[in-house]
Each structure stands twice: as C-alpha cells, then as structure tokens.
Amino acid sequence: MSIETFNTLKGATPEARLAELGIELPERRQPVGNYAGAVTTGNLVFVAGHGTFNGSLQTHKGKLGGEVSIEEGKAGARNAVISALTSLKGEIGELSRVKRVVRLFGMVASTPDFFRQPEVIDGASDVLTAVFGAAGIHARCAVGFAALPFNMPIELEMVVEIE
C-alpha cells in the first residue's frame, strides 16, 4: 500500500481499511487439535499458528524453492495473516482494540537451498501495516522449516497488544 493510500485511510477503523483493501475476513477456522486459535492474557493476545487457508479451504500447498514460487508464497502469507486476523477479531471483538502488533513469527516450508523466507513473509507484514498503520509495524522472525502441517508452505503466529 502506498503512503498516499494509507493517508486517505488514516482515520478509518481497521475493519474499514480491510474493506477498502478488498479484504474480507473469512469464516473463523476451528483448531485441528487441542488448542485455541487465540488466547488473551492481560493486554496481550497470542494468536496461534495460522496457515494458508481461506476459511476451511486450503489455498496453497508445497515448499518454497520447490513447487511454490515466491509470489505464490507471498500470497499464501497474505492468506495466513488474514486467517490470523479472523481469529484475533473473534477473540477481541473489534480490531480497533489493537494497540500494536508486537511480533510476527513466520515459518516457511522450503527446500534446503531456499534463503528468501523474509521476502515471502513480507506478504503478511504488508497486510498488517496496511490495516494498522504504524501500529502494525512489528518485530519479526522469518525462518525455513523442512515441513509444515497439511503440506502448507506458510504458517504464522502473532502477538498483539490490545487496549
């Protein structure tokens, strides 16, 4: 998102920014194990690992450096963070309660010779800064993994501070 576009959305709620960006939060996906999609303690929300899903539909499979291109990986990271935002909203009610996105942990299933994990996770970071502005700028880790659940190329976790 350009600075000019963000400035026109400056006073808007995160939900309004999502709409302006053409992003619709999907149906909240149910955890596939014995855990919660997001947990609040004090003023921090820990958002569990979210992958390349749009609701219950898996959008991407495979490894970066193999059958998944960087652009496909970035799109998968975008889908993963949108899925995470769905769980976050379900946990806190309204995204306008977000004071700051503190940390994003990005896991990228990749071949041993693939080293562009940070570029792939930019697909998620770009959404967070577009939706939350300066409050969406976060600490981040982007690392390669041999495999992720369901043959997903991307999985993300977030820590968010709320008001």
Please, which pLDDT band fits residue 1 given cuts at 50, 70 and 90? very low
Domains contained in the chain, number: 1
pLDDT tens per residue, range 73-103: 999 999 999 999 999 999 999 999 999 999 9
User: Is 83 within a domain?
Assistant: yes
- Could you tell me the CATH number of the domain that includes residue 127? 3.30.1330.40
The answer, yes or no, to whether residue 41 has pLDDT greater than 90, is: yes
Burial degree of 83 (CB within 10 A; 0-12, 13-18, 19+): buried
Q: Are 160 and 45 in contact (CB under 8 A)?
A: yes
User: Is 31 within a domain?
Assistant: no
Task: Name the pTM for this structure.
Answer: 0.92
Strand pairing report for 139-145 and 57-58: unpaired
User: Is 30 within a domain?
Assistant: no
Q: What is the DSSP string of 76-108?
A: HHHHHHHHHHHHHHHHHS-GGGEEEEEEEEEEE
User: Is 80 within a domain?
Assistant: yes
The answer, yes or no, to whether residue 10 has pLDDT greater than 70, is: no
Over residues 121-130, the mean pLDDT reads: 98
Cα separation, 50 vs 16, in Å, equals: 23
Domain extent at residue 140? 3-24+36-162
